[in-house]
Structure 1
Amino acid sequence: MAVAATFLAVSATSALAQGDAPRNNAAELAIDAAIPLPEPANVPPPTASDFKLDTTATVSPGPAKTPDKTPDLAKTPEQAKAPEPTKPLDAVAAPAAEPAKTMASPPAATATAPEPAKDPVKAASNIPAADQPVADRLRDLIATKGARYFDRKTERAAVEKFYTGRDYAPIWTQAGNLTATAKGVIARLRDAAADGLNPADYPVPDFSAAAATPDALAEADLKLTESMLDYARQAQSGRMHWSQVSADIQYPEHPVDPNEVLANVTTAKDASAALESYNPPHKLYKLLKAKLAELRGGSDGAPIIIDDGQPLKYTPARGKNAPEAEAQMSDPRVPKLRAKLGLTENADDIRYDAKVAAAVRKFQESADLKPTGVLDDRTVKALNTPKRDKQIDTILVNMERWRWLPRDLGAPALGDAYVILNIPDYTLKVMQRGAQVWTTRVVTGKPGQHATPLLSETMKFITVNPTWNVPPSIIYNEYLPALQQDPTVLDRMGLRLERARDGSIHISQPPGEANALGRIRFNFPNKFLVYQHDTPDKHLFAREDRAFSHGCMRVQYPDQYASVLLNIAMPGERYTPERIRSMYGSSEIDLKFPTPIPVNITYQTAFVDDAGKLQFRKDVYGRDATMISILKNGRGKDLENVVAHAQPSYARPRGPLPSAVNVSDNSFSSGSGPNFFERLFGGGSPTPPAPVGRPVRRVFTR
């Protein structure tokens, strides 16, 4: 009894001394957290059974006492289950003075063997119990098979980060049921064809069949995430890379950020609209999308069938006094033909007149027929082809090319001003604040090696009275062979030949009315060494097909074009065409833009005009045919490969010259003065970019 009383007093004193002492280390805090503390009002007085006797002391046994049957509320569950030891009669403890503080101190036996702390990750998880098995399986799949679903490192890292941040809870289901977000994403993927994409490229897993097991639900979750990222990437950047189509295409990359896609789509009120937003925002793209729906849905009514019959031909009237009617054929099929070709004027006229013949000629060009303007059997058959599959293919590849262009075509500081040139239509437009400011006809490059490249660059300045520095390709391929035949040809053309000490050759033409660049050159430095300029050959602008240049773009009214651009870049200067023409002379004048104006060279063989009519143009460079072949014959993600092409040569031509060739006296040194790129675009232009590939085609993956 003396020993027990002493132990009780010491324990109580220790509890009073330590009850308010703060716990400073992790072990002590864990011990406190593991002991349940009852409300102070319900704490019973301690009994002798609360304390462990010192078994090393000698205690005289006394008579046995019947154990108290009253349950001890202060016992732990472990203590309640343990058998009750026999208590000595004299081991009776007095009530503690402050039971609450006494109980705040754990018994010595518990302190020596604390309960382990709970797992902090699971304790912080908010995953519903029904989703926890799916989350556990997602954790395993991402860790062991992530590369099977996401072969791009950036996407794999983004997915792992996103799932980790949500404790691997499934994205698209809750308790095995599809969420509203998932339904929106699935609806967009299944309607991918509306944006010119292929729904088969974005498979949707069967969640109804997958709901049976956590494994199947987890796999379906990752597959839908994969399809969503594939859609966003291809909607923004394209199903194929532009380098696969031709070496003369160079657009800035604008890859999609998978982290942004995951965050944007999963938090959007309308997940379908959020995913659709990765398609091009341009007005002309959206107009093409609407026309694609019309062609596929037959919203223009029942197809018009042209009956077979004799060939119809329009022959212009001969002689000043010949009546026009005598030169025209009449046929009851002509009204249907007018409707088929979209000619609304004189819709019921049965005469095969000049307008009908011109429309037939244009259709023949679009159908790869000889453009004779005669309605023959082959033309009738092409007109009656079901639902114009060729037109749908043409729209699809044009929508694809819109994905390559920058999302913001213009300069925000200039009211989103930009220049856009459509090669197959041979037109150039200046746009500002979403509206056309000015337009003109252009001459573009010949098909083949001289095709005008597709690019997006910025126009930095205009040169009045430019010097024409002949590109190396023209020197090699045309002028050096011409000199072998006629050593005086350059003199007669007004060209000047200079030879450097290292033997390289430079040919130029001084400013003047006969200069090949005309009076004005519009400079937007690029790796293809092309630009826009005036021309002395004005008669070419009257042609319907105007692909005649070596790659540069000739502008019909350069003085007006210059004044429009200068008034956008420097509105306070009030440039007029007359002011521009007053600068014509023999000395170069550079007019620099404080803010460069973007220039976008495009290839639109299908577009919607200002009247809302779908227009088609001849595939002058064969770009449509190449892209259609790639889309129909390509396999999966191979379409997104990047092909490295050889860069243009910037080296000055070298080679022997005939003895009779006139070489300028003030020959230049190859180690001094501006290089060819600087001569071409002006002294302030950057040096040409370093080559990114060899002549052999190499394939990379975006």
Structure 2
Amino acid sequence: MRFDRLLAGTALALVLAVGAANAQSTEAAVSDTGAPAAVEALVPATEPAPVTVTADDLAPAAAPKPDTAAAAPPSPAAPATETAAVPPTTPAQTVVTPADTAKIDAAAKPESPKTESPKAETAASDPAATGAIPVAPLNKVLTLDQQVGEKLAEMLGRKTDRRFDAKTRAALDTFYAARDRAPLWTDNGAVNARARAVMAQLTAAAADGLDPDDYPVPQLKADASPDEIAEFELKLDQSVLTYARHAAVGRVHWSRIAKDIVYEVKPPEAAEVLGRLATAPDARAALDSYLPQHRAYKALKAKLAEIRGVKGDGSKRVAYGPSLKVGMEDERVPELRERLGAAGTGTTYDKALADAVKAFQKKKGLKPTGTFDSAAVDALNGPRNDRTADIIAANLERWRWVPHDLGKSHVVVNIPEFMLRVYRDDDVLWSTRVVVGKPSTPTPLLTETMKFITVNPTWNVPPSIVYNEYLPAMQQDPTVLARMGLNVSRNRDGSIHISQPPGAGNALGRIRFNFPNKFLVYQHDTPDKHMFGHDRRAYSHGCMRVKDPDKYAEVLLSIALPKDSYSADRIRGMYGRGEVNLTFPTPIPVHLTYQTAFVDDAGKLVLRDDVYGRDSRVIAALKSDERKVADTPVEQRREASAAPRRANVRLPQEEPRASIFPLFNIFR
């Protein structure tokens, strides 16, 4: 017990000594800073392991020898081995506080389950509450294609960008959004195979009588930025969409050529074009498919290539295409190098080739720009038959106005040829001569469907003939129409109606072929058979007179009603006084076209007279400054003479007298 008291006294002395030292340190801190120093600043960064006092430690036991060295303060003269074990900093002082005493007491008690308070949970989950430094999330790293996609969205959102109208811009935005903004023409900043395929089609536009300069092919450098790649994307979109529209409905809108032309063909939608090209295994073939694919168009296109592709001496011509400048890619470059003797390889129009072109231009008296343009092509190829090539180009353009799907079975009337043909599966099934409209009353260009045939038709005279010809004749002789066998009456609105009943002398003959249209024209028989013997057969008011109408009816009915066994003889047996309509369950397309250049069955190019002067008008629109707006339609108004109107004409009361057939023939 005496030894225990000694240990307790020693411990008490140590506690008091430490407390005194702590008080001195605190006073020193206050004197230096003017405020109490933080207790944490006096505590070592690494706390010693906690000491747990148990009952066994306080129980009587063999008294160990006092370790005076441990209790004594560190000596400045400590051995080197002991100094090496001490950190180079000042030894931490041990401060015993009431909180420390509480910890010691708690350590002696049995451990109880811990229950964390809400504040403790908040501190654990909130780094700021514990003083921890929050870690900022890493920025999302975008691929080059994703960066391009963001630029595309930004550009398409600009209403000030005039290269697309609002509808097309919205369609493009929707198209790219469906692709997660992935570009269509590049992969990771490089021009892809799809782009190269459509670019080849654009540069070959001259093969179809189009101008490649209308579809510029953009260039993309190897280290292009996302902005430059996005700009390349939209420029190629613009060229591709323009080409698809021109291929599908024409470079020149038909409404700009004449008022008697109507083709209801709609241009393809932007999303449909890009969607098809995005999924097609061959993008060039997909873009080419917007052009007419029937035999007549392809044969005429081949003739254009023959005229433009071979010189008089048999050497090959350099093809027409976009004007070439340094850095541009073009399939004609290797051939151009060969023709000019310029060094180099590949398809890039480089400076060496540009210098060779410049020297050639100077030699030929052209402005030495070094740009290989259409004038340089002409000078290199030599003379050509420009007039024939222009005529073929005009005819290819008119084919683009016509629906490209002509129909499995269909009828084509070629007005300058004065011929009618029935086709099945793109082959001629039957043909005959026709009489078409005079230049003053031309046969219109249109596509409609033949719905029925009328045997023994009544002729209801078109308003244009009534008001332009028949009523003026009645002013001179009120009995003239009655003598011609025409019935004249007045409609409720005061307009004049003139008709002719069925019969051998009817102006329509015995059969009328009906395809309702705004111009009130149709195909029909005629009493005047002698006109079919003429080479130039432009005599009618716009309708088409058919040389062999009963055979024509047989051919059409064999298509529309194959099980009814209609023959020409059976149809002639139906001739009489009463009208009979033979309706087609499935209408047959009828295309009224204007082909002054076509390829005959022997594969020969045939050129016909331009009876209505259509060629020069189309060629001018294709080549003049009008081409800038030529694909935009213009409003067409129906001729006033075609509309019914009131007429102050006294209807004849006299009995009809003998017919005056010569006068009647004039009106027919």
TM-score scaled by structure 2? 0.67
- Map Cα deviations across residues 94-132 of structure 1 (whole Å, 9 max, x no partner): 9x99xxxx9xxx96435346989979xx96x9x63x344
Residue 239 of structure 1: how far off its partner (Å): 0.7
Residue 654 of structure 1: how far off its partner (Å): 3.4
| Equivalent of 2:396 in 386, 399, 402 | 399
Matched, 1:633 2:624: yes
Matched, 1:486 2:477: yes
Contact 1:445 1:452 in 2 (8 A): yes
What amino acid maps onto 1:419 in structure 2?
A: V
Q: In 2, distance between residues paired with 1:539 and 1:559? A: 17
| Equivalent of 1:440 in 429, 432, 439 | 432
- Map Cα deviations across residues 570-602 of structure 1 (whole Å, 9 max, x no partner): 111100111000011111111111111111111
Contact 2:422 2:431 in 1 (8 A): yes
Aligned ranges 1:607-686 → 2 under 5 Å: 607-635=598-626, 637-648=628-639, 651-657=643-649, 661-662=653-654
| Equivalent of 2:572 in 575, 581, 585 | 581
Q: Secondary structure at the match of 1:274?
A: helix
- Map Cα deviations across residues 74-93 of structure 1 (whole Å, 9 max, x no partner): xxxxxxxxxxxx99985999
Residue 454 of structure 1: how far off its partner (Å): 0.5
Matched, 1:389 2:386: yes
Residue number in structure 2 paired with 1:270 = 282
Q: In 2, distance between residues paired with 1:251 and 1:652? A: 25
Q: In 2, distance between residues paired with 1:608 and 1:590? A: 36
| Equivalent of 1:235 in 247, 264, 268 | 247
Quick one: structure 1 residues 576 and 638, their matched pair in 2 at CA, closer, same or farther if it must change by over 3 Å? same
| Equivalent of 1:143 in 157, 161, 164 | 157
Residue 165 of structure 1: how far off its partner (Å): 3.0
Residue number in structure 1 paired with 2:531 = 540
Residue number in structure 1 paired with 2:184 = 171
Matched, 1:427 2:424: no
Q: In 2, distance between residues paired with 1:466 and 1:254? A: 35
Residue 504 of structure 1: how far off its partner (Å): 2.6
Residue 163 of structure 1: how far off its partner (Å): 2.3
Residue number in structure 1 paired with 2:53 = none
Residue 475 of structure 1: how far off its partner (Å): 1.3
What amino acid maps onto 1:281 in structure 2?
A: Q
- Map Cα deviations across residues 651-690 of structure 1 (whole Å, 9 max, x no partner): 44533335755489xxxxxxxxxxxxxxxxxxxxxxxxxx
Q: In 2, distance between residues paired with 1:117 and 1:62? A: 33
Q: How many residues align?
A: 489
Residue 502 of structure 1: how far off its partner (Å): 4.8
Q: In 2, distance between residues paired with 1:581 and 1:523? A: 18
Q: In 1, distance between residues paired with 2:489 and 2:126? A: 98
What amino acid maps onto 1:148 in structure 2?
A: R
TM-score scaled by structure 1? 0.64
Residue 258 of structure 1: how far off its partner (Å): 1.0
Q: In 2, distance between residues paired with 1:279 and 1:173? A: 26
Q: In 1, distance between residues paired with 2:652 and 2:145? A: 89
Residue number in structure 2 paired with 1:157 = 170
Q: Secondary structure at the match of 1:409?
A: coil
Report the more deviating stretch, 596-605 or 134-143.
134-143
Quick one: structure 1 residues 431 and 116, their matched pair in 2 at CA, closer, same or farther if it must change by over 3 Å? farther
Quick one: structure 1 residues 442 and 300, their matched pair in 2 at CA, closer, same or farther if it must change by over 3 Å? farther
Q: Secondary structure at the match of 2:436?
A: strand
Quick one: structure 1 residues 659 and 513, their matched pair in 2 at CA, closer, same or farther if it must change by over 3 Å? closer
Matched, 1:527 2:541: no
Percentage of matched positions with identical amino acids:
53
Contact 2:411 2:588 in 1 (8 A): yes
Residue 158 of structure 1: how far off its partner (Å): 1.6
Residue 278 of structure 1: how far off its partner (Å): 1.2
Q: In 2, distance between residues paired with 1:579 and 1:254? A: 41
What amino acid maps onto 2:152 in structure 1?
A: L
Q: Secondary structure at the match of 2:474?
A: helix
CA RMSD, 1 decimal? 3.4
Quick one: structure 1 residues 144 and 651, their matched pair in 2 at CA, closer, same or farther if it must change by over 3 Å? closer
Q: In 2, distance between residues paired with 1:435 and 1:186? A: 34
Unaligned runs of 5+ in 2: 1-38, 50-93, 129-133, 316-381, 657-668
Unaligned runs of 5+ in 1: 1-58, 70-85, 304-384, 411-415, 665-702
Quick one: structure 1 residues 538 and 659, their matched pair in 2 at CA, closer, same or farther if it must change by over 3 Å? closer
